[in-house]
Copies of this chain bind each other. A is one copy, B any other.
């Protein structure tokens, strides 16, 4: 272990406290639970890699042999907050075979014909899998609210629907890990500028990003409401300061490690006669 390892439980340090949410009061550039800087943070992440990989493989093995548990990581945050980077640097540490990533875009016409959770349910991880939602059902109380895509009476009831849905999920063995990547408006400007200054990043830029940025306060209000109203004991929110990419990657990986460790998946015992099989194999 490095001198700067993440000693504290980030599931405690980063958990959103119950009650009213004031995002302006929550840090975007701090490194809660970690005393080191960027270099130490990258080393700490590398040190976590075998652990998260081992835990994921155990969960996968469990699912392969009749287990019913899975983990769903929900990533939410403003544009450039690093949902994609998290996929690469945190989720990328585990065996891709056991990972199912779903990136939710604007709903298709078919999706719009159904309840907002329809497409979400279809993307839930199977037993043993690590499911990742890059955006999620929360968009239906975020962009839907900010842009008035549906009338208020529609999105207003969705918080309770979401809580009920997530309680159902956890009851069915899905560990729901919800991360809000908390970015500052200033850092977003820096990142959008970087996309405009580097031709290899043009493809990540969309003029609509600036329009969305102009609604920053509306989005912060929508996020605050969503976080506050869906911060349940079954599926609590973690607020991850996201201005420092290395910390964001480290924190989310550590959250995964902690929640997977709590599940404590075990290598499944043999459901066959090991010596008998060895003998049978030796005759071939």
A residues whose Cβ falls under 8 Å from a Cβ of B:
61-62, 64-65, 84, 87-88, 91-92, 95-97, 99, 101, 103, 134, 189, 192-193, 196-197, 199-200, 202-205, 207, 210, 213-214, 267-270, 272, 274, 277-278, 280-281, 284
Complex-state Cα separation, A103 to B274, whole angstroms: 27
Complex-state Cα separation, A202 to B277, whole angstroms: 11
Complex-state Cα separation, A196 to B278, whole angstroms: 7
Residue of B nearest to A271 (CB): B202
Q: Do B284 and A199 have beta carbons less than 8 Å apart?
A: no
Q: In terms of DSSP, what is the predominant structure of the interface of chain A?
A: helix
6 additional contacts, CB 8 Å, given A202-B274, A213-B281? A92-B92, A92-B95, A196-B281, A199-B269, A199-B270, A205-B272
List residues of chain B with CB within 8 A of the CB of A267.
Answer: 199-200, 202-203
Complex-state Cα separation, A199 to B65, whole angstroms: 14
List residues of chain B with CB within 8 A of the CB of A197.
Answer: 278
> How distant is A210 from chain B, measured CB to nearest CB, in Å?
5
Q: Do B95 and A193 have beta carbons less than 8 Å apart?
A: no
Q: Do B281 and A192 have beta carbons less than 8 Å apart?
A: yes
Known: A96-B99, A97-B84, A196-B274. A284 touches B203 (CB 8 A): no
Complex-state Cα separation, A1 to B164, whole angstroms: 55
List residues of chain B with CB within 8 A of the CB of A62.
Answer: 203
Interface centre among A61, A84, A88, A281 (most CB of B within 10 A): A281
Q: Do A202 and B96 have beta carbons less than 8 Å apart?
A: no
Q: Do A210 and B284 have beta carbons less than 8 Å apart?
A: yes
A-B contact pairs, 24 of them (CB 8 A): A84-B95, A84-B97, A87-B95, A87-B97, A88-B95, A92-B95, A96-B96, A96-B99, A189-B281, A189-B284, A192-B281, A193-B278, A196-B274, A199-B269, A199-B270, A202-B267, A202-B274, A205-B270, A205-B272, A207-B272, A207-B280, A210-B284, A213-B281, A213-B284
List residues of chain B with CB within 8 A of the CB of A91.
Answer: 96
List residues of chain B with CB within 8 A of the CB of A213.
Answer: 281, 284
Q: Do B203 and A268 have beta carbons less than 8 Å apart?
A: yes
List residues of chain B with CB within 8 A of the CB of A270.
Answer: 199, 202, 205
List residues of chain B with CB within 8 A of the CB of A272.
Answer: 205, 207
Known: A196-B281, A214-B284. A203 touches B97 (CB 8 A): no
List residues of chain B with CB within 8 A of the CB of A92.
Answer: 92, 95-96
Q: Do B96 and A269 have beta carbons less than 8 Å apart?
A: no
List residues of chain B with CB within 8 A of the CB of A274.
Answer: 196, 202
Complex-state Cα separation, A91 to B95, whole angstroms: 9
